[in-house]
Structure formats: structure tokens, C-alpha cells
Copies of this chain bind each other. A is one copy, B any other.
Amino acid sequence: MGVVVKLPGPRDPQASLAPLVALVEEDMAHVNRIILDRARSNVDLIPELARHLIDSGGKRLRPMLTIAAAKLCGYHGDAHVRLAASVEFMHTATLLHDDVVDESSLRRGKTAARLLWGNEASVLVGDFLLGQAFKMMVDVGSLGALRILSDAAAVIAEGEVMQLITAKNTETTEDDYLAVIDAKTAALFAAAAEVGAVIAERPKSEAAALRSYGRNLGLAFQLVDDALDYSGEPSKLGKSVGDDFREGKITLPVVLCYRRGNASERAFWERTLKEGDVGEDDLAKAVDLIARHNALIDTMERARHYGAIARDALAIFPESDVKAALLEAIEFSIERPF
């Protein structure tokens, strides 16, 4: 399974999602009820497949952002829980379609839905969840929130196509990589946070601040995700270490390592990632090269850079427990072991 390289330890050993989770707990219980309710259908396969993914949980970071952002903006109402459920459905739909595209075998620590029900069902149930997400947004009735979330839906799909194109291309630059994760991951984090301010009818500056917070948190989150794929422990990660490697996905650790490597190292990356010729010891060798070129450490440095921007984005808000929890969520996203 390759050598497991430990990432640098947390700067803040207390870094945790716990404060955020505690603050949004009650609303998230409401979000979960909506999610289960809206995954229902007379067509049994739909709730069955949807619940396979929904029950396995995941961190629910995106809907928590919507709830917390609304709270930070002093929102009193119930639109935020419905928008949060929409955000989670958009994310779940993306995961289902993603797994089909990636031919993944694990998702959130469970067998990927596509292997249990087939690619077809994953595509179509993803479409159903996306349809339900839009229905919920329409029910909320905020054209501002609808605009932000429908923009995000188109941008996410664009990002996924970009990722498909850059796959196996070892010449991908760091800028190309960033454009992909900005679209496929950060766009939904940004939208999830921004709509909290929009339904609270706060000034544009606060919506923009939350958007920036969400976007940069999303970039940091994805960078760490991509680092963990070469270093995490499979049992905690809920997916297999080396998945990206085996799929020929070009993530920052590889971009850096390829560029810093010598000719024979580049030939290794071309054989494994571009040509997909991956032998038994190749993951271990990849992990070793990545360590030798400090590519994981520097990927984490990049993540901290975006984390710092996310932190500053919230500076315009007065101190509060919600703000503190959102700041701590940045630390968690970067130092998390899974």
C-alpha cells in the first residue's frame, strides 16, 4: 500500500470542527430531516441509493457553512435550513456523477453506489437530487440565492469537465490545477457561505466577505484532500489512499513533484499517470518521490496560504462565537487527518 508519510503536525492541537458543529447542531438536525424527506420517491431505488450516501454522513461541511453564515449575519427564519439542504443535495449529486466519471470503488468509506446499483442509477439519481435541490431553492423564493446557487451548479460542472481534460496530463501547471479546484470545489463552498448573508439581507460587503471565506476555505480543503490521498490512513479517510494516483488524476503534489523531478522521475510519472501503466510498487515509489521533493509539505503550505485569506475575509465581522467557530473550521480543514 505504499509508505505512509505523516503530514506536519497541527499547529493548533485543539483545531477542531467541534465548536462549529455545536453551534449549528439544532439547525443541522432540521437540515437532516429535510434531506431524508426530500430524498423520498415512489420509485424505491431513489431513496435507497440516496440514503446509502446520505446515511454514510460525510462531514456535511457545506450545509454547515450556510447555517453558520446565516447565523453570523443575524438571520432569524427557516430559509437557511432549506438552502443548506439544497447545498448538500447539490454536493451529493456531484459525488454520484463524480464516482461514475472516476470509476471509484469507495465513497465515504462505503462501496460506491455505482458498484451496487450501476452507473446508470448513479447518473439518474444524481439528476433527481439536483432537481430536488432546485425545487427547494425555488420554494425559499430568494432570487438572489437562486442566482448564486445556479451559477455554482454550472461552474462546478465546468470544473469537473476541466478535471477530466487535465487528467493524465503531466504538463498541467499549478495554475491549471487551481482553476480546476476553484470551480469543482471552491465554487460550492463560496456559494454555500454567501447565500447565508443573502437571505439575511445583509449588505453586499458581508455577502462578498462570506463568499471569499467560503471560496478560500474550499481551496484549502481541496488541497489538503489531495495531499491526504498520498498520505492519509484509509480507515479514517473513507476512501483508498492512492485513488488519485491510480486514476491518473493530476493534483498539486504531483504537479510539484513532476516539475521538480529529473528526467527519469518524469518518465515515471508519464508511465504511471499519462499511460496508466501502474505496477504493484508504483504507489510506494510515488509517495517516496513526493516526500523527497517536499511536495506534500508545500501543498500544505499552499493550503495555509488560502486559509489565511479565508481568515482575513471574516475580519469585517465583529467577534462572536460563530465567527470564532468559522475561524477554527479553517484550522480544522488544514490540519485534519481525514
Contact = CB atoms under 8 A, between A and B. Distances in A.
A164 B44 CA distance: 12
Contact of A43 (B42, B128, B158): B158
A36 interface: no
A119 to B, nearest CB: 7
Max chain B Cβ within 10 angstroms of own Cβ: one of A123, A130, A137, A141: A123
Given A43-B162, A143-B141, A165-B45, A134 B119 contact: no
A156 B132 CA distance: 11
Main secondary structure of the interface of A (DSSP, over half): helix
A73 interface: no
Contact of A160 (B119, B124, B132, B134): B124
A120 interface: yes
Interface stretch (A21-29, A147-155, A284-292, A295-303): A147-155
A131 B119 contact: no
A169 to B, nearest CB: 13
A97 interface: yes
Interface in A89-131: 94, 97, 100-101, 119-121, 123-125, 127-128, 130-131
A21 to B, nearest CB: 30
B164 A135 contact: no
Interface residues of A, number: 42
Nearest to A41: B158
A41 B157 CA distance: 11
13 contacts: A45-B164, A46-B161, A94-B127, A121-B164, A124-B157, A124-B160, A124-B164, A127-B153, A131-B150, A131-B153, A135-B154, A138-B147, A146-B146
Max chain B Cβ within 10 angstroms of own Cβ: one of A41, A130, A138, A143: A138
Interface string A13-57: 000000000000000000000000000011101100000000000
Contact of A138 (B146, B155, B164): B146
A161 B45 contact: yes
